[in-house]
Amino acid sequence: MQPPAPEVKPQADTTGSETDTRTRARVHTELAAGYFQLGNMSVALEEAAIALRSDPGYGPAHNVAALVYGGLKEDRLAEAHFAQALRIDPLDSDANNNYGWFLCQRKREEESIKYFMAALRNPLYRNGDRSYVNAGLCSRQRGDLAGAEQYFLSALKLRPTQLQALFHMADLSHLRGDYAAGKSYLERFMQMAPAGAEVLWLAVRVERKLGDRNAEASYAAQLRNKFPESKEARALLAGQYE
């Protein structure tokens, strides 16, 4: 499954005390975030630059600039902007989460966990499940499956409908041979969202281990019919179940 998208949510000042320069910085930060999410890096960078010229002390603008530079593989500039965002507001959960994911993508998993946990220390953070999922993904990437499982379970405690956590718990359950648990997590997933190729392929293998040939055949048929060109469908046709 795709990792969670970076978080960029500049908020307007609801107290009515926002200055004109701060408003300008916020608006251009929102535009930069929108263009970043569309993959238009050049315009995103221009908008972030306007925001920072308007108000160099606006942390979310540094966060967005860091994301854009990271997307452009300008890692030195990305880290400088992440550092500035966190100097301005060490409790900025979006910046902590995004910096953690930046580090994880560069195989600096141990460092990354610290920033995910920093994001979670903010009592006003509404997306703690995402930081737990990111911590789980990075722990799994470094081979710490037990740690990954605990982070995914923490994500599900915060948000029982967290799809990525459900999928990875199903996958980890399958890996350790707890196929009944794997089936349960997959059923919870499929109650809330359509199953993609990755989910269907895992379901095929779990049901195969459980010996339910009817369920295995049903998931296999869905995989072949809905995602015939996927690598999972190719593995199915080749009989590569492991």
In a domain, 240, yes or no: yes
In the chain, at which residue ranges do the beta strands (DSSP E only) sit? Answer: none
In a domain, 225, yes or no: yes
Instruction: Domain of residue 227: give its range.
Output: 160-242
Q: Report which of 134, 8, 142 is spatially closest to residue 64, judged by C-alpha positions.
A: 8
Residue for token pair 């593995």: 235
pLDDT tens for each residue of the chain, 242 residues long: 655 556 666 555 544 557 889 999 999 999 999 999 999 999 999 999 999 999 999 999 999 999 999 999 999 999 999 999 999 999 999 999 999 999 999 999 999 999 999 999 999 999 999 999 999 999 999 999 999 999 999 999 999 999 999 999 999 999 999 999 999 999 999 999 999 999 999 999 999 999 999 999 999 999 999 999 999 999 999 989 88
Q: What is the pLDDT of residue 19?
A: 83
Q: How far is CA 68 from CA 12, 81, 152, in A?
A: 22, 10, 28
In a domain, 168, yes or no: yes
Q: Report which of 225, 174, 172, 155 is spatially closest to residue 195, judged by C-alpha positions.
A: 225
In a domain, 190, yes or no: yes
CATH number of the structural domain spanning residue 221: 1.25.40.10
Output the DSSP codes for 11-65.
Answer: ---TTS---HHHHHHHHHHHHHHHHHHHT-HHHHHHHHHHHHHH-TT-HHHHHHH
In a domain, 189, yes or no: yes
* Residue 179 CA neighbour count, 13 Å, CB half: 12
The length of the chain is: 242
In a domain, 98, yes or no: no
In a domain, 107, yes or no: no
For residue 48, how far is the Cα from the chain centroid? 22
Q: What is the pLDDT of residue 14?
A: 47
State pLDDT tens for residues 108-162.
999 999 999 999 999 999 999 999 999 999 999 999 999 999 999 999 999 999 9
User: How many domains, in total, are found in the chain?
Assistant: 1
In a domain, 204, yes or no: yes
